[in-house]
Amino acid sequence: MIQNYIENANFEDTGFAYTLSLISGKHKMVILYCLMEFETVRFNELKRYLKTISDKTLSTNLKKLEADKLIIRTEYPQIPPKVEYTLSERGKTLMTVLDQLCAWGEENRLTE
């Protein structure tokens, strides 16, 4: 299968490139992993989990993940406003791939 990607003259049209585009960046995979672990998470909980992320960066990443239909944003009409994020069904299917990446990393971590 990798050979098909290597031989393909237009890498951008491959499923591999598409998947990478969905999870690229410093925070997207961590956000998805957090939602997998905790299921329903509010903005400030995500921010605490990610520690060094700015509000703007977190908000931008959440909007991209929502636009890609990997997460669901639920807004409750109350004061103060309440917004929760969960994995969509589509996002849950991506988690099997991310789990495999984690397993590979655990099994193949180089030690000094």
pLDDT at 21: 87
pLDDT at 6: 57
CA distance 97 to 112: 28
Enumerate residue ranges in the chain where pLDDT < 70.
1-9
Closest CA to 85 of 69, 96, 104: 69
pLDDT at 1: 58
- Digit-coded pLDDT (tens) for 45-58: 999 988 889 999 99
* Whole-structure pTM value: 0.80
